[in-house]
């Protein structure tokens, strides 16, 4: 289908040139016929893609509950309120895309985090009541399945009551390759523009891909580790040549094959960007990983090198000419001892000019690309070392970028099951448990994030925030390694803490 679309667009552009250019009597009526056929073919394709996708679009309403008046059983925020509606305020409308249907009735809906909380990049587990409106005018109460403030993405769940997905002809769109979008490519945008889609019928618009790796407004000069900033402020957004109106956040961006290649966002508007263009979160490889994690209901994790990168200067790369043609790169600053970067051999002063096939021009780009790969991923760094004038390819197994405020994580699924009542994370996984010197000396082991009351771990004295470095004498530095070491253990097990204290964890059978 992709080739046929390209042929249609070629014919359309040719037709446009014929109409706007000088008169050519020799072209005759054949050119007019070709031009009309091309336009009709393109229109038919847009209509077909819209018809297939629109049933997977929902309108979202976030409602502020009243402390004095309980919600009536038949409350519907999509019906215009009257004087007797009583203290309920619809605090915002948005859009969402059904990405999965389970057992014909359970919907998993992708939207923006700020649609369900009203705030960008700020964790808020105490969300207001959320309703969705499907095609056919069905209003459903939705619940949070998982969300990730860093990516400004969230997944909701809702259950169809009177009809099933087959009756409503809901066909979730395929996740497309956001990396394959080309500048100038035509894209369709579907969503709840201006909150008008209260009947469940979405609006549609079209536009061109105008630019890539855009930021939502000016970036403040703060460490992304020590703040609630989003990954998009490091430059991830797709720019569209159409304005994203209120209510369109969480809407679908589709290519002409009907694949979901982005999710519209009013993030730039919320941060005060006055530009007359719209933005979307493209479904690049890193964002697809985030979406798939949210669909599983798990916490989204981001990759971490364990360095403090600096902005490079043009003269840093001058000795690398002509093999490196870009103007700048990310300079490696402080390298934490025993960090992934340290173990891989990165040195202060190294110039990282690419991660895989992605060009790195500054520290933001390096943090962004490493973060989107996720922990335990192997990052391939292209490095120029000025002191020796050598080009290096360095592979790094990544750690975990710290979660700034883990107390507000919303995740209904567990990546690893608890062992004897204890759950753990990477040693850098929770900012509040990190030592102040973690960018000088990288912490080892895993950190305890939860201990079930009355469990063997609790009885042994294990506490939240404690760092475990060894299990039964074996070193552990990730939740996966911890799960591997403990899986086959049945007797009492010794765990060694970072303080060198040792605790004996009894088996579950000892509690009976």
Per residue in 389-434, pLDDT (tens digit) is 999 999 999 999 999 888 778 888 888 899 999 999 999 999 999 9
Per residue in 16-45, pLDDT (tens digit) is 443 444 444 454 556 556 777 888 888 999
Phi, psi of 431 (to 5 degrees): -60, -40
Q: Note the pTM of the prediction, 2 decimals.
A: 0.89
Task: Indicate whether 411 belongs to any domain.
Answer: no
140 lies in the same domain as 233: yes
Q: What is the DSSP letter of 311?
A: E
Instruction: Answer for the pair 474, 494: CB distance below 8 angstroms, yes or no.
Output: no
Phi, psi of 453 (to 5 degrees): -60, 135
Task: Indicate whether 479 belongs to any domain.
Answer: yes
| Number of domains within the chain | 4
Per-position pLDDT tens, the chain of length 512: 455 554 445 444 444 443 444 444 454 556 556 777 888 888 999 999 999 999 999 999 988 776 666 777 778 888 766 544 444 556 778 999 999 999 999 999 999 998 998 765 555 555 578 999 999 889 999 999 999 999 999 999 999 998 999 999 999 999 999 999 999 999 999 998 766 556 678 889 999 999 999 987 655 555 655 555 789 989 999 999 988 877 889 999 999 999 999 999 975 544 445 455 789 999 999 999 999 999 999 999 999 999 999 999 999 999 999 999 999 999 999 999 999 999 999 999 999 999 999 999 999 999 999 999 999 999 999 999 999 999 999 999 999 999 988 877 888 888 889 999 999 999 999 999 998 888 899 999 999 999 999 999 999 999 999 999 999 999 999 999 999 999 989 999 999 999 999 999 999 887 76
What is the structure's pLDDT at 105? 95
Find, among 169, 211, 243, 196, the residue nearest to 80 by Cα.
Answer: 196
152 lies in the same domain as 262: yes
280: CB partners within 8 A, 6+ apart: 189, 237, 238, 240, 244, 253, 262, 263, 264, 265
What gap in Å lies between CA 142 and CA 133, rounded to an integer?
10
442 lies in the same domain as 388: no
Phi, psi of 223 (to 5 degrees): -65, 130
What gap in Å lies between CA 398 and CA 416, rounded to an integer?
19
Task: Indicate whether 405 belongs to any domain.
Answer: no
Q: What's 108's domain CATH number?
A: 2.40.10.120
Q: What's 370's domain CATH number?
A: 2.30.42.10
45 lies in the same domain as 60: no
Single out the residue in 366, 400, 434 at which a domain terminates.
400
What gap in Å lies between CA 373 and CA 20, rounded to an integer?
47
Task: Indicate whether 445 belongs to any domain.
Answer: yes
What is the structure's pLDDT at 511? 76
200 lies in the same domain as 63: yes
SS3 149: coil
**DSSP H or E run through 140:** strand 139-148
What is the structure's pLDDT at 371? 96
231 lies in the same domain as 309: no
User: Which tokens is 460 given?
Assistant: 């042994």
Per residue in 173-215, pLDDT (tens digit) is 999 999 999 999 999 999 987 665 566 788 899 999 999 999 8
What is the structure's pLDDT at 196? 57
Single out the residue in 37, 54, 71 at which a domain terminates.
54
SS3 94: strand
Phi, psi of 95 (to 5 degrees): -130, 165
What gap in Å lies between CA 141 and CA 52, rounded to an integer?
25
Single out the residue in 54, 76, 96 at which a domain terminates.
54
301: CB partners within 8 A, 6+ apart: 293, 374, 375, 400, 401, 429
Task: Indicate whether 409 belongs to any domain.
Answer: no
What is the structure's pLDDT at 128? 77
486 lies in the same domain as 356: no
309 is in which domain, residue-wise? 303-400
Task: Indicate whether 471 belongs to any domain.
Answer: yes
**Could you tell me whether strands 467-471 and 493-497 are parallel, antiparallel, or unpaired per DSSP bridges?**
antiparallel
User: Which tokens is 339 given?
Assistant: 């960090």
Q: 6 burial class (0-12, 13-18, 19+ CB within 10 angstroms)?
A: exposed
Task: Indicate whether 195 belongs to any domain.
Answer: yes
What gap in Å lies between CA 384 and CA 316, rounded to an integer?
9
355 lies in the same domain as 241: no
Per residue in 368-380, pLDDT (tens digit) is 999 999 999 999 9
125 lies in the same domain as 212: yes
Q: What is the DSSP letter of 206?
A: E
365 lies in the same domain as 424: no
379 lies in the same domain as 423: no
272 lies in the same domain as 308: no
Task: Indicate whether 211 belongs to any domain.
Answer: yes
């Amino acid at each position: 289908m992709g080739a046929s679309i390209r042929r249609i667009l070629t014919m359309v552009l040719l037709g446009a040139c014929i109409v706007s250019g000088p008169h050519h009597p020799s072209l005759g009526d054949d050119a007019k016929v070709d031009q009309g056929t091309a336009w009709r073919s393109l229109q038919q394709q847009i209509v077909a893609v819209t018809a297939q996708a629109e049933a997977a679009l929902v309108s979202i309403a976030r409602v502020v509950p009243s402390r004095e008046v309980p919600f009536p059983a038949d409350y519907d925020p999509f019906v215009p309120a009257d004087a007797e509606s009583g203290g309920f305020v619809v605090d915002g409308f948005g859009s969402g895309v059904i990405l999965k249907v389970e057992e014909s009735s359970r919907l998993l809906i992708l939207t923006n985090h700020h649609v369900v909380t009203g705030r960008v990049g700020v964790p808020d587990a105490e969300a207001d009541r959320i309703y969705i409106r499907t095609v056919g005018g069905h209003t459903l109460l939705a619940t949070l399945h998982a969300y990730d403030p860093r990516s400004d993405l969230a997944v909701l769940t809702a259950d169809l009551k009177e009809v099933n997905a087959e009756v409503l002809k809901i066909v979730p769109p395929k996740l497309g390759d956001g990396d394959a979008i080309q500048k100038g490519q035509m894209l369709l945008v579907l969503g709840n523009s201006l909150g008008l889609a209260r009947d469940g019928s979405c609006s549609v618009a079209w536009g061109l891909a105008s630019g890539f790796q855009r930021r939502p407004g000016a970036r403040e000069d703060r460490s992304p580790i020590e703040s609630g900033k989003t990954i998009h402020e490091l430059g991830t957004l797709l720019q569209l040549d159409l304005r994203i109106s209120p209510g369109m956040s969480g809407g679908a961006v589709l290519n002409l094959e009907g694949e979901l290649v982005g999710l519209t966002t009013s993030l730039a508007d919320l941060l005060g960007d006055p530009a007359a263009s719209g933005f979307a979160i493209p479904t690049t490889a890193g964002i697809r990983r985030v979406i798939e994690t949210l669909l599983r209901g798990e916490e989204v994790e981001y990759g971490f090198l364990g360095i403090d990168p600096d902005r490079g200067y043009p003269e840093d790369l001058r000795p690398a000419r002509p093999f490196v043609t870009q103007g700048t790169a990310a300079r490696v600053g402080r390298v934490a001892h025993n960090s992934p970067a340290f173990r891989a051999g990165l040195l202060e002063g190294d110039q990282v000019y690419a991660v895989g096939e992605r060009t790195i021009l500054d520290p933001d780009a390096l943090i962004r690309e490493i973060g989107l790969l996720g922990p335990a991923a192997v990052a391939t760094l292209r490095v120029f070392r000025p002191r020796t004038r050598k080009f290096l390819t360095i592979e790094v197994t990544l750690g975990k970028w710290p979660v700034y405020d883990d107390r507000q994580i919303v995740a209904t699924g567990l990546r690893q099951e608890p062992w004897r009542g204890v759950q753990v994370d990477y040693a850098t996984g929770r900012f509040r448990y990190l030592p102040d010197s973690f960018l000088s000396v990288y912490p080892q082991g895993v950190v305890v994030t939860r201990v079930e009351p009355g469990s063997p771990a609790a009885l042994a004295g294990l506490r939240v925030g404690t760092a475990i470095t060894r299990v039964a004498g074996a070193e552990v530095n990730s939740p996966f390694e911890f799960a591997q070491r403990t899986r086959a253990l049945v007797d009492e097990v010794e765990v060694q803490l970072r303080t060198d204290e040792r605790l004996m964890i009894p088996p579950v059978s000892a509690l009976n």
